[in-house]
C-alpha cells in the first residue's frame, strides 16, 4: 500500500492549487481517503475525506466552500482542489487511508486512526 501526495507549492493569497494523492498497491475506490495537514508548531489536523458510499465527502469548517475533494477512478487518484487559499492554509499536506474507517468527523479529528500515510507535500500561501 503506497500513497504519494503531490501538487504543493507557493501561491499568493486568493490563489488555487490542486493536490493529488496517487494510490498504488490497492484500489482506492473501495476505501476512505483523507487529507490532513500540519503547520509548523501545530498539531496535525484533518482537512477532508472522501468515502465509498456514493463518494460521500466531509470537510473541516475552516475549508468548507473553498476546498473540494474528488476521485479519479481511472487513475486511482484522489484530488484536493484548493481555492481562495489563505496564509493560514500553509502547511505540509498528507493523504492517508485506512481499510476499516469510514469518512467521518472522527477520522478528521483523530488522524491516528488512519493506518497508511504518504509523504507530504508543502503548501505555502504568501504574498
pLDDT of 53 strictly over 90: no
> Could you read off the pLDDT of 17-30 as tens digits, one per residue?
999 999 999 999 89
* pLDDT number for residue 68: 98
- Cα(77)–Cα(70) distance, rounded to whole angstroms? 9
CA angle 44, 10, 32 (to 5 degrees): 40
Instruction: Find the distance separating the first CA and the last CA of the chain, reported in whole Å.
Output: 37
Mean pLDDT value across residues 41-60:
93
* pLDDT number for residue 25: 93
* pLDDT number for residue 115: 92
Mean pLDDT value across residues 95-110:
93
Mean pLDDT value across residues 24-37:
94
Report residue 81 as a C-alpha cell: 482542489
pLDDT of 82 strictly over 80: yes
* pLDDT number for residue 121: 98
Distances (CA, A) of 9 to 5, 22, 59: 12, 17, 22
* pLDDT number for residue 10: 98
5, 93 Cβ separation under 8 angstroms: yes
Q: pLDDT-derived band of residue 54, with 50, 70 and 90 as boundaries?
A: confident
Cα–Cα nearest to 107, from 49, 30, 57: 49
Distances (CA, A) of 4 to 52, 95, 98, 118, 126: 20, 8, 15, 5, 25
* pLDDT number for residue 103: 94
pLDDT of 109 strictly over 90: yes
Amino acid at each position: 500500500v503506497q500513497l504519494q501526495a503531490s501538487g504543493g507549492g507557493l501561491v499568493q493569497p486568493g490563489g488555487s492549487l490542486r493536490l493529488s494523492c496517487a494510490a498504488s498497491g490497492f484500489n482506492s475506490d473501495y476505501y476512505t481517503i483523507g487529507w490532513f495537514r500540519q503547520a509548523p508548531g501545530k498539531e496535525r489536523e484533518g482537512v477532508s475525506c472522501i468515502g465509498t458510499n456514493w463518494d460521500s465527502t466531509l470537510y473541516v469548517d475552516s475549508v468548507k466552500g473553498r476546498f473540494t475533494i474528488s476521485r479519479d477512478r481511472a487513475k486511482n487518484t484522489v484530488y484536493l482542489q484548493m481555492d481562495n487559499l489563505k496564509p493560514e492554509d500553509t502547511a505540509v499536506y498528507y493523504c492517508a487511508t485506512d481499510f476499516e474507517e469510514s469518512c467521518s468527523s472522527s477520522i478528521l479529528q483523530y488522524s491516528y486512526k488512519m493506518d497508511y500515510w504518504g509523504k507530504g507535500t508543502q503548501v505555502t500561501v504568501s504574498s
